[in-house]
Amino acid sequence: MISAVTGFLEKFGEGLLFTARILKLCLAGKVSYEGLFDQIWKVFKESLPTTMVAGFFVGAIMTVQFSLQIAPFGALGYLGGLATSATIREVGPLLIAFLLSGKIGAFTAAELGTMKVTEQIDAIRCLGSDPLTEVIAPRFMGIIVASLFLLVFGLILSVAGGLLMGALFSGINAQEYLRHIPTLISSLSVFTGLIKCLCFSFVIASVCTYLGHQTTGGARGVGQSVIHTAVFSMVSIVVADWLSSFILDSLLRSAGLL
């Protein structure tokens, strides 16, 4: 038990150091820009349909749930505001990030893991380049940028999903649905949602690049990296959600904004 905990802490520390090295490279502008734009486009293009569907249905689900809760109180006029607020601030970023971690995270871990076990990473070093600069950092930054856009796009679609479900399920027209959104959602709520999206993108990028790069042991090792990426990303996203809520709340309170 103790050795498992120390082993986990050791890996966690290594992961943090690895992420710090990549961040340092990115901040120093030592990223292959061609690779970076390729990655952003690839991730965005491949995950857009999934994110749109997920975003749309998250909004729809929240609307149905809130409708069931507030209809007995005759407060359906607030349905749009409540459903959108909950979606943008909490549930939307969380669920869409889960989905992206399964799609982008697992794909990247498998891709990097395969490159590692088939010695492509070693070959890059032997050909005089740094795999961190050429392969890892572009993927890391690409995932952060593309995921952030995808999350925002998913959240916009969630409003559309809520709007449609409000009309179909609760008989609320679009004007009525949208009326109380500005009442319940301030620019601060949108800002909080965006910060969470950024944190989740960062978590997905860090976990999948680190675990992909650490892969050993052939096809079985690649499989394990993919599983570990899916599990650790989701757990880390939940932890990041709690941590970002806690920190943002404290900061906004101390600034007198809440």
Partner 1 sequence: MLEFKSVKKSFETKTVLDGISFKTEVGEILFILGTSGTGKSVLLKLIVGLLNVSAGEIWLDEEKISDLKEEDLFPVRKKCGMVFQHPALFDSETVFGNLSYGIRPHLSGLSSGEIKKKVLENLEVVGLTEDLLEKKPSQLSYGMQKRVSLARTLCLQPEMLLFDEPTTGLDPVTTEAVNQLILNASRKYGSTSLVVSHDMKSALKVADRILVLDQGKIIELATPKEIVSSRVPLVQDFLSEVLND
Interface residues with partner 1 (CB under 8 A)? 118-120, 122-130
The answer to whether 151 and 190 are in contact (CB under 8 A) is no
Q: Which is nearer to partner 1, 118 or 250 (CB)?
A: 118
Residue 122 C-beta: closest distance to partner 1, Å: 5
Handedness of CA 69, 89, 94, 158 (dihedral sign): positive
Helix, strand and coil content of the chain, in percent to the nearest 5, comes to 90, 0, 10
Return the number of the residue (183 or 216) whose C-beta is nearest partner 1. 216
**8 Å CB contact between 60 and 170:** no
Query: At which residue do the structure tokens 């088939």 appear?
Result: 118
**Cβ-based nearer residue to partner 1, 108 or 158:** 108
Element (H, E) at 64: helix 33-70
Shortest distance, position 127 Cβ to partner 1, whole Å: 3
CB of 149 to partner 1, least distance (A): 22
Closer to partner 1 by Cβ: residue 89 or 116? 116
| Residue 92 identity | G
In the bound state with partner 1, the residue whose beta carbon lies nearer, of 39 and 51, is: 39
Shortest distance (Å) from residue 25 CB to partner 1:
13
User: How near is the Cβ of 119 to partner 1 at its closest, in Å?
Assistant: 4
Burial class (CB in 10 A: 0-12, 13-18, 19+), 105: buried
* CA angle (242, 252, 184) in 5-degree steps: 85
